[in-house]
Structure 1
Amino acid sequence: MERSWAIVFVVALVALAGCGGIFGDGPWPDDASAHPPGVSPSGLEDASSLSSAHNESLVDESYELTVNQEVTFIRDNRNVTTGSERVVTMADDGEFLVEARTHGSETVNETIWANGSTAYVRTEQDDEVQYDRRDASRFRSQLSGYSLLYEYLAAGEFDVTSVDRRDGRTFVTLQANEFSGGGIGTNFQTVQTYEARAVVDERGQIHELTVHIEGSQSGTPVVLDITLQLDTDGSADVSRPDWVDEARERNH
């Protein structure tokens, strides 16, 4: 479970109790354009439509996406906790920076920068630094986090708990307290607890997602907590890292 960001990014959101009722603080919008894709008054109907809309709404947009993950399991009769944090900063001109860190028995720091078709990667582990050059499209397709969002949205039975209007936009809060049996694939063989909350606007942008899962893998109890936060206010500032010149020299 202790893998570098380059692996975890593709394959790898506490507990929130209470329910505000089907319409929550405000009525379900009459205007169909204010309905988040894949969401109806009764809840989340299509996780694929919602996660795809989230991805499409961020094309050519400036944003910052923060994802934190923490996993606790038993190894050698003791609890072990590993985690990862990553921050994706996307400028409106397509330049991006990803800063990621895993922690636990091993610590890996990884930074990815690109301002065109080429991405440069700096990986630091055990006082060893490596540089790599890759196709930026390999990362661009995942920068919005939509596949991770789909994985966890598809795993829960989400109901609408509130509908709010703020700054001329509609925000729908979805909450799940039941595992649907899909979505999270082989991460868990059994799931005893699945609790999640998502805040999504009419375009399908998922601004917040928190998930708490308790289950087991190969007979070992596993607890997973994930939080995702999307910030689309203002213009994201991406600075070219000082190490890029060295990375270019080593991988020209």
Structure 2
Amino acid sequence: MRGAFAVTFAAVVVLAGCSGFFGDAPETTTPTETASGGVPPTETAAVTETATPSQTPPPTPTATETEPPDGEQQLAPGVTREGIVNPVELMSAHQRELLAAGYEINQTVVSTYNGSVSNRLVVHTTAGPGGEIAYQNGTSSGYDADGNETVTGNAMWLNATAMVTRHVEAGSTTYRVQPRLYPPESLIWYSGLQRDIQFAADDYEVTSVDQRDGVRVVTLEAAIDRVDDDDIDDTTSTLQIDENGVIRDAETEVNYGTGNVYHTDYAVERVGSEPPARPAWLDAVPPSASLEMDVFRFDETSAELVHTHGDAAPAGSIVTVVSNGTLYEATLDEPFRDGTLSLWIDADDTLRMTSERPSSDAARELGPVVTVTVRAPDGGELFSTSLAR
């Protein structure tokens, strides 16, 4: 389909979903050896400022080994002349090296349909040693069937205890503050890289062994059946791994056989990075950015709006309910926190917000589908959901 990427930046990710940022859900497969710490992207997430590559790109090849090591000799952790012989050792080494020193990673995902670009996602991630202080940003763009482009931005700032995301779309900027929940290694991996290394390790073959600034770099290539499990190779993958286990570059192309081709490039731009500077946009995060609400109950007469976490919805916030194609609106007279509000329509077609549910004869019947939205006094969206019964 030619729809735009959904960006959630773990997801920054955002980077939730990022959404995270990446086309698929965040990886759940992790090596046996892991570092302790913090959080993923969701997709996330990316901001309107575009990703800025490091000014020190990986060194270029200077020599090819004329007498390659024996098949049994280790070229990199988990890699010999025979290919990837221990994928867990390789993934653990990659994680360990990046988390120990800090890193910068660029990731680009391009989706094409019948040869034309339909979606593009660019994500840049910087993390200091240990991965606790990190910043991830990028942009996603997509085209619909009529050629209209949609550009979405997400950014995610993380420390040891919290993550703050910034989402930019159609001229509107929103923020969210929430606890940091996941370990820092989640920012290192993109959607399919771990899966291909762990479950398609036997498909990789060593195609070259080079010396780059005195460091051995091994190139491996694989043809993989990823899509339909039909014994037909639909995916090509190329890895460049140095002798320390750092996956310097990974390129993957997946052909879904319906005109859709998915190309991913993952590049470690730098190993050894200071913790990223605090982004200036943090100063614009409103007090309500950590607010979380939900609708827990929805029946014929009312919808129950629940404050679940974080800051209060400020007094003056606008609550709207759309039912049967009609929009109803009311204003919060006082801050809303730590409680529930029953939203219902009275006989005068007025949206009421009460602590108790209405009697069946006092409220008009709601439609089978309603949309509930809460906006701050300045118009910024605090919460929105649509639900059916």
Q: Distance in 2 between matches of 1:235 and 1:145?
A: 17
CA distance 1:71–1:150, change in 2 (3 Å): same
- Structure 1 counterpart of 2:209, which letter? V
Residue 101 (structure 2) aligns with: 61
Higher helix share: 1
CA distance 1:155–1:134, change in 2 (3 Å): farther
TM-score normalised by L of structure 2: 0.52
Question: Alpha-carbon deviation of 1:39?
Answer: 1.6
CA distance 1:46–1:224, change in 2 (3 Å): farther
Gaps of at least 5 residues in structure 1 are 13-22
TM-score normalised by L of structure 1: 0.77
- Structure 1 counterpart of 2:287, which letter? E
Question: For the Cα contact (< 8 Å) 1:71–1:82, is it kept in 2?
Answer: yes
CA distance 1:209–1:235, change in 2 (3 Å): same
Write out aligned runs for 1:76-87 (5 A).
81-87=118-124
Secondary structure of 1:27's aligned partner: coil
Higher strand share: 1
Question: Alpha-carbon deviation of 1:46?
Answer: 3.7
Question: For the Cα contact (< 8 Å) 1:2–1:102, is it kept in 2?
Answer: yes
Question: For the Cα contact (< 8 Å) 1:86–1:98, is it kept in 2?
Answer: yes
Write out aligned runs for 1:12-51 (5 A).
25-28=66-69, 35-51=75-91
Gaps of at least 5 residues in structure 2 are 10-17, 28-42, 44-63, 144-149, 291-310, 312-389
Question: Alpha-carbon deviation of 1:226?
Answer: 0.8
- Structure 1 counterpart of 2:165, which letter? V
Question: Alpha-carbon deviation of 1:246?
Answer: 2.8
Of 250, 255, 267, 1:214 maps to 255
Question: For the Cα contact (< 8 Å) 1:29–1:35, is it kept in 2?
Answer: no
Of 126, 138, 157, 1:100 maps to 138
Secondary structure of 1:162's aligned partner: strand
> Larger C-alpha radius of gyration, 1 or 2?
2
Q: For CA contacts below 8 A with separation 6 or more, give which structure has more relative contact order.
A: 1
- Structure 2 counterpart of 1:41, which letter? R
Question: Alpha-carbon deviation of 1:210?
Answer: 1.0
Residue 18 (structure 1) aligns with: none
Indicate the RMSD between aligned Cα atoms, in angstroms.
3.0
CA distance 1:104–1:61, change in 2 (3 Å): same
Q: Do residues 144 (structure 1) and 188 (structure 2) align?
A: yes
Q: Which segment drifts farther, 52-61 or 196-205?
A: 52-61
Question: Alpha-carbon deviation of 1:86?
Answer: 0.4
Please give the per-residue CA displacement for 1:184-241, whole angstroms capped at 9, x wherever unaligned: 5xxx33765432211112222100111222223xxx3321111111023553462211
Question: For the Cα contact (< 8 Å) 2:110–2:263, is it kept in 1?
Answer: yes
